[in-house]
Amino acid sequence: KQEVTQIPAALSVPEGENLVLNCSFTDSAIYNLQWFRQDPGKGLTSLLLIQSSQREQTSGRLNASLDKSSGRSTLYIAASQPGDSATYLCAGTSGTYKYIFGTGTRLKVLA
């Protein structure tokens, strides 16, 4: 059974810092991987999608990579801002489009 762990569980940093959020899968056979952002009491916003043929995706200050050999993904946030404060979730699928979600990282960026 696929399990997804995100480290750290919570993170508090001053504004401007570069951050790395980690996600690891017990089964490294990942087909697609998505990183999401969730604000308190809200739904999910898709940030980045890494499809089966890809290893990395970038959008603005965000960069996500996937190492399929180890089943690990990282989300890099450059020059963090208070508006980045949210919970970040990674989710992966092994090909059935049934995404399994990670435990989440609660990020707080201090002004």
Partner 1 sequence: GAVVSQHPSWVICKSGTSVKIECRSLDFQATTMFWYRQFPKQSLMLMATSNEGSKATYEQGVEKDKFLINHASLTLSTLTVTSAHPEDSSFYICSARWTGGASSGANVLTFGAGSRLTVL
Nearer to partner 1 (CB atom), residue 43 or residue 60: 43
Binding site for partner 1 (CB under 8 A): 32, 34, 36, 41-46, 49, 51-52, 89, 91, 97-104
Q: Minimum CB separation from partner 1 for residue 37, in Å?
A: 11
Q: Minimum CB separation from partner 1 for residue 41, in Å?
A: 7
Q: Minimum CB separation from partner 1 for residue 54, in Å?
A: 11
Q: For the purposes of burial, counting CB atoms within 10 Å of the CB of 6, is it exposed (0-12), middle (13-18) or buried (19 or more)?
A: buried
Q: Minimum CB separation from partner 1 for residue 44, in Å?
A: 4
